[in-house]
Structure 1
Amino acid sequence: MASSPRKPLTAGSVRTALRRFLRERAAETRAFPDDPVLAQLAAARWLATELDLVARELVVTARRGERRYSWRQIGEAMGTSGQAAGKWARSHGLPVEEPADGRAVEEGRALVAALLVMSVRSRAEYC
């Protein structure tokens, strides 16, 4: 049985899906139990934090992965210039340059640990 083709995503359909997700997320938590608007706002803040963490991970992967994308390519994907993307990454303390002495694995583990701590803190603030 062949599956039907997926409808293309539009900005409106994404916003609708996000609003549904935020309502469900707000209902699952104890944040603002008597005010669904504030509960959804808190859920939106949590989601924004999680998306920021994912963006950080992707920038590090793009710079340090096998392909080593240029700052121009990364900036284009982020909707900005390469210079602005690099400045953003450095301002967030992301390890985007290959270590000269082969400490890439150690630094990668430290980055993952730091991102996990940030994620746990963001979840703790939300709940």
Structure 2
Amino acid sequence: VTILFADIVDSSRLSLSLDPEALRNLLSRYFGELSAVVQRHGGIVNNYIGDAIMAVFGMPFVHEDDALRAVRAAVEMRETLGILNHELEAGWGVRLMNRIGINTGEVIAGDQTQGYLSVAGEA
């Protein structure tokens, strides 16, 4: 399994510069665009943690190239953010930067009966 974690740089500054509704709308737009990228590459968004996205590649279906899919998703996420920043700058007066980490390893996955897939392990 490969895990991708994307986190906004300096999000505390962002939360101080925007009112709560504007921040919610901005994050919703950011999450929507980047989550779509994950899905296009065969991953699933496992969790949103504050301003971060945790995505899983290789669950529930394993592909031989799950790590490569995650890397390709990360590259496209960076490109998508570059395009999205034009909209964010025009609408909210901000530009976002993010950091993306990827790791591959064995995990134990919980049951997805409540619409949430718990994942724990070395990945």
State if a TM-score over 0.5 links the two structures: no
Question: Bigger radius of gyration, 1 or 2?
Answer: 1
Q: Which has the higher strand share?
A: 2
TM-score, with length taken from structure 1: 0.32
Specify which structure has the bigger relative contact order, considering alpha-carbon pairs within 8 angstroms and separated by 6 or more residues: 2
